[in-house]
Amino acid sequence: MVLEKEKFGGQITITSDIVNYPGVLEDSGEGLTQKMRQQAERFGATFQKAEVKKLKLDQPIKKIETSQGTLESIGLVLATGAHPRKLGFPGEKEYQGRGIAYCATCDGEFLKVVNCL
Ligand SMILES: Cc1cc2nc3c(=O)[nH]c(=O)nc-3n(C[C@H](O)[C@H](O)[C@H](O)COP(=O)(O)OP(=O)(O)OC[C@H]3O[C@@H](n4cnc5c(N)ncnc54)[C@H](O)[C@@H]3O)c2cc1C
């Protein structure tokens, strides 16, 4: 089961062009994560919108307290990712992933100066 509090797919869903992911020539963040989800679902994964509020990990059966109730599991993977700090200038939200970038190694290629001399 994949628990997500905001948007399934995470940060990559806000970018329109992915050209550097292994095995993918070109895709959008939405497109790539949709395919990842479909692949996971084919192997039996389920997806639930819920925020994880508290973990109790000291027993063999772990307790996961979420905004939608408490779950139990013998194991879990924490993949809470990151949230870039926003500056709040005009157009920041509108152009997010289409010029406004928060990851130099991801989007640097789109912004490189080809020949400045
Ligand atoms: C604009 C942009 C362009 C990018 N371009 C590329 C690219 O071209 N190629 C590339 O390889 N990478 C790119 N990246 C980087 C890529 O998005 C990240 O490396 C990747 O998303 C990290 O995945 P993650 O699952 O570790 O974390 P995240 O994507 O941050 O996902 C973590 C998820 O956990 C959820 N979460 C956190 N806490 C809780 C909680 N308590 N309960 C429930 N859910 C919770 C969050 O809501 C989030 O959706 C880009 C990033 C950005 C922002």
CA of 12 to the centre of ligand 1 (A): 5
Ordered structural domains, the chain, with CATH: 2-83 (3.50.50.60)
Measured in angstroms, how far is the CA atom of residue 116 from the centroid of ligand 1?
33
- Rounded CA gap, 113 and 109, in Å? 9
Residue 64: strand pairing partners? 55, 71
Backbone φ/ψ region at 23: left (φ over 0), alpha (ψ -120 to 50), beta: left
Q: Indicate whether 61 pLDDT > 90.
A: yes
Residues with CB under 6 A from ligand 1: 3-7, 10-12, 14-15, 18, 20-21, 51-52, 79-82, 97, 101-103, 106-107
Q: Read off the pLDDT band of 37 (50, 70, 90).
A: very high
The model's pLDDT over 74-111, given as tens digits with 9 standing for 90+, comes to 999 999 998 888 999 999 999 887 888 887 777 777 77
If you measure from the C-alpha of residue 36 to the centroid of ligand 1, how many angstroms do you get, rounded to a whole number? 13
CA-closest residue to ligand 1 atom 48: 10
